[in-house]
Each structure stands twice: as structure tokens, then as C-alpha cells.
Amino acid sequence: MPIFNCRTLWNVLPVAALWIGLSFLLVPVQAQPTALTRGDTTKPQMALIFTGHEYADGGDHIRQVLREQEVPGSFFFTGIFYERYAPLVQLLKADRHYLGAHSDHHLLYAPWSEQDSLLVTRDSFLRDLNANYVKMEKLGIARLEAPWFLPPYEWYNDSIVQWTADAGLQLINMTYGTLSHADYTTPDMPNYRSSAQIFQSILDYEAAQANGLNGFLLLLHIGTDPDRADKFYLHLEALIGELRERGYRLVTLQELFQND
């Protein structure tokens, strides 16, 4: 049995203290997860993202335009959408577009007036999210193939970002600045925007910003309420042409985030 006298202990303690201190430095610090809302702003490339829950009236037209223009799309659908519009989903899958989750029942996670508050618990959030992936898997979309999650209403807070990361997924959202997401509005809404206004807002933002639309995630809806007769998705081909004329490449999410 080793014998430690005071001199031995005096010599050992500083070494032990140093080792313990270094060990803390060697432990990796877990970074707070964040939402991805834009890619590299130095590169003239962007991604088109589409969400869907109740309506899919633009599905065939959007698919045709993307095929003809050879543009990749990223589609985020609720579980309800995956069940209701399975044939369309299979066509998009055959075209090799990204298919991701948008929650199962399109839950509102936080009040509109208090974004830092919550209307869901962690368990209810995860149950709903997992149900979305179960319905995707029934259509041959594996969870590992769909790591990006776009929250319903594009509305979330730090808790939702953390819970998404805990589920092994990455929360993404559209890039704000244009009115593209207003393509769902109907004439009776105070925030209604016509397709002409939406289109012009995209061009105006691009012209006014130093980095233009570099790294942008431009969000559109795959379908809208029948009360909106002015369908913005009918302008998709013209929009793609205009973006290309301005020097932008339309890329996949994987390419957009390849350095993240």
C-alpha cells in the first residue's frame, strides 16, 4: 500500500488540479441549436421551398414547371397532406424532389402575440412530429432522407428549435423580406396581396439589398383556398426565368447548406 507524506501530497495536488482543469477544457461544449433561414449570402444561389396542408391545386402545375425548367424543389407537407394527396407525393418523389415534414396536424406552437410562449408541450410536439414521419414512411420517405423540418405557419421559438434538434432533425424556415408567403391570402383578408404585388416584392427586395436573394429560401404554397382566384403558382415559370436572368442558380437544400 503506497504511503503519502505531506511532501508527496503537496507535489501531487497541483498536477491533479491541472489535469482536472484541462479535462474541463477538453469536454466539447454543446452549441445552442439554431434555425437555418438562409444559406451563403455571398453566392448567387437560392432554393424554392413549398409547403402544403389542406390544398394541393397547384401541385400538377408546379411539378410540370419544375420538370421543364430542371429546377429542384423542396416540399414540406403535413401528415394530413401526405395521406390526402398520396398520388401527387409519389410523383414528386419520382421526380427526386426533397420531401419533408411540416407537422402532422399543422399545429400552432406559440401565440401570435407572444412568440416566446408555448401552446404545446414537448411531448405533444414530438408526438405530432413523429406522426408526420410515420405517414411519410408509409409512402417510402425514410426519416434519414428528410432531416430538415419546416414548422407549421413558419412560426416557432427557441424551445421548438431545441426540441427539433433533440429529435435529430434540423429546423429550417423561409427567408423573410419578400411577400412570397402571402400567396395564400384571399381578397377578404386585410393582408391580401395580389400575385402582381408578390412578384414585384421579390424583384424589389433583390434590387434593394446588397446581397440580393443570395442564399434565399423562397417559400410558396402548393395550393391555396378556392376563394383566391389569383394563383401565384401560375407565375412560377416567369419567376424562375426572371431569377435566372438576374444570375441566380436554383439549387437543392443540400447544396444551399453544404457549408453549414
Count Cβ atoms below 10 Å from residue 190 Cβ, excluding itself.
5
- How confident is the model at residue 74, as a pLDDT? 98
- Please list the ranges in the chain whose pLDDT falls under 70: 1-30, 259-260
Instruction: Look up residue 237 and give its DSSP letter.
Output: H
- How confident is the model at residue 259, as a pLDDT? 64
Distance in angstroms (rounded) separating the CA atoms of residues 150 and 197: 25
- How confident is the model at residue 18, as a pLDDT? 43
- How confident is the model at residue 118, as a pLDDT? 98
Write down the pTM of the prediction: 0.88
Of 164, 155, 161, 158, the residue nearest 132 (C-alpha):
164
Q: What is the pLDDT of residues 165-196, one digit of tens each?
A: 999 999 999 999 999 999 999 999 999 999 99
Distance in angstroms (rounded) separating the CA atoms of residues 32 and 25: 18
Please report, for the chain, the start and end positions of each structural domain, with discontinuous segments joined by +: 45-256
Q: What is the pLDDT of residues 221-231, one digit of tens each?
A: 999 999 999 99
Residues in the chain: 260
> CA–CA distance from 98 to each of 137, 180, 259 (Å)?
14, 20, 19
**45-256 is classed in which CATH architecture?**
Alpha-Beta Barrel (3.20)
Cell 413523429 belongs to residue = 130
